Amino acid sequence: MQEMTIYGVSFDLVGKQPIVLLKTVDANKFLPIWIGHSEAAAILMRLQEQTPARPMTHDLFTEMLEQFEARILKITVTELKDSTFYATITVQQNGSEIELDSRPSDAIALAVRTDAPIYADERVIEESAIEFEGDAETTEAQISRSATLQDVDPAEFRRFLDQVTPEEFAQPFEEDD
């Protein structure tokens, strides 16, 4: 398992589908996950520290966990199968741990609300992560809890978005020369 941070949320330029971009904590590898519009909104609202007038589903679930004296220990992106990412939410209640199957987008929306760490299985990173070039100091300066991808090299990221499809994440990334 590798710990991940949320690098940002953006949109696929072709299909206008939201993408959450996770980054490995210890390396310069990025894991793009296509998500739904409502989940993107839920993640962005929390990253931007906005509070909705009424609780959203993820806010309600977080409140329920608190009322049941349970907490999210971590979320893990566990696998990529048939172009679909899978995740688990590890919850602790009364000293017991429970693993719940989840879509990564819902798990991430909960993680940002509970400050739970985010992990990805090594196999998912090997199969699906993209490595951007750049020195460690510059890359680390770019990482923030921002809701945009402004600091990513626009030409390289645009090329990536123009060429990649969700199906390609089952195969290792190869750069064009």
CATH number of 2-170: 3.10.690.10
β-pairing, 2-11 vs 118-120, is: antiparallel
| Mean predicted lDDT score pLDDT of the chain | 80
The pLDDT value given to residue 143: 34
The pLDDT value given to residue 124: 94
Query: Which is more confidently placed, 50 or 34?
Result: 34
pLDDT band of 122, cuts 50, 70, 90: very high
The pLDDT value given to residue 120: 97
Burial of 94 (0-12, 13-18, 19+ CB in 10 A): exposed
Partners of 77 in the β-ladder? 87, 120
Q: Report the first-to-last Cα separation within the chain, whole angstroms.
A: 31
From 19-23, 66-70, 144-148, the region with the lowest mean pLDDT: 144-148
Mean pLDDT across the stretch 59-88?
Answer: 95
pTM: 0.74
The pLDDT value given to residue 133: 64
Q: Does the pLDDT at position 117 exceed 90?
A: yes
Q: Angle 57-67/37-47 helices, nearest 10 degrees?
A: 60
Residue ranges covered by each domain of the chain: 2-170
- What distance in Å separates the CA atoms of residue 126 and residue 16, rounded to the nearest whole number? 26
Mean pLDDT across the stretch 12-38?
Answer: 88
Which amino acid, one-letter code, is at 130?
Answer: I
Q: Helix or strand or coil: residue 120?
A: strand
